[in-house]
Structure 1
Amino acid sequence: MIRRHIDLIQLLIQENKCKPASFFGEELHVSSKTIYSDIHELEVFIKHFGLELTTVPGSGIRLEGASENKKELLKFIHTAIKKDGYSKEMRRMMIVKKIFVDVQNISLDELSREFIVSKTSLYNDIAIIEKMMNEENVHIIINHDGIECKGRESKIQRAIEKFIMYFNAENKSSINDTIEAMFDFKIVCMVDQLLFHEYSELTEHVSDYYIDGLRLSMMILLSRLDKGFHLEKEEEFLFNSLKFMETFIVANTMVEKVKRDLIINFTNEDIEYLSQQLFAHRITSKIKSVDPQYEKTVKTIIERMEEMEKIDFSQDERLYKSLLYHVPAMIVRLQKGVQVQNPLLPDIKNQYTKLFTVVWYALSFIESEYDLILNDDEVSLVLIYFQLSLEKLAKVRNIIIVCPYGTSSSQLIMNKVKQFLPTRDHIEVSNISKLKEGNLNNVDLIITPVDVDFVNVPTVKVNPLINDEDLINIMSVYTNKVLKPERLELLSGSNKAETPIIAKYIDPSLIKLDKTYSSKEECLDSMITELENNEFVDPLFRISIFNREKMGSTSLETGVALPHADPDKVNIPSISITTLKKPIKWGDVNISLVIMVALSEQEIDQFSTAISEVYKLVDRKEKVNEIVSIKSVADFMKLFQK
Structure 2
Amino acid sequence: MILNNRQMKILEILSAEDEPLNIRYLSDEFDVGIRTIQNDLKAVSDFLESNQMPQLDRGKRGYVGLEDIDGTLNKLLKSLYQTEAKDLILTPTERTRVIYLLLLKEANHLTISDLATYLGVSRGTLISDLNQLRQEIEVLPLEIDASKDGLKLTGDECVLREYAIGMYMRNANDSCIYELTDYHRASIWLSHRLPEVRSLDETCEIYMALQEAEKKLGRKFTARSFLFILTWIELTLERIQRNNIASMEEHKLKDLFETIEFKVAGEFAREITKILNLQFPMEEVAQLAIRFLGCDDAMNCPDYAEIFAEFQVEICRLVFHLGNELNVDFSENLSLYNDLVFLMRPLVYRINHGINIINPLLDEIREQYPVLFKMVRKHITGVEKLIGVSLPDDELGYIVVHFASIMERRTSLTGLRPNVLLVCDSGVGTSNLLRARITSLYEVNVVAAVTYGQLEATLQTKRVDYILSTMDINHDNVTTFRISPLISEKDKRLLDSRFQPKITRQLDVSTLLRILEKHCIIKDKAGLIKALSAVYRLSPEQQYWKEDDQMLKDVIRKDMIELGYLAKDWEDAVRRSGYLLQQGDCIEERYIDSMVSAVKAMGAYIVIGRGIALPHSRSSAGAKKIGISFLRLSEPVEFGHPENDPVDLLFGLSSTDNESHLNVLRDLTRILSNEDKVAQLRTLDSVEEILDLLNNGGA
Question: TM-score, normalising length from structure 2?
Answer: 0.45
Question: TM-score, normalising length from structure 1?
Answer: 0.49
Structure showing greater relative contact order (alpha-carbon pairs closer than 8 Å, 6 or more residues apart): 2
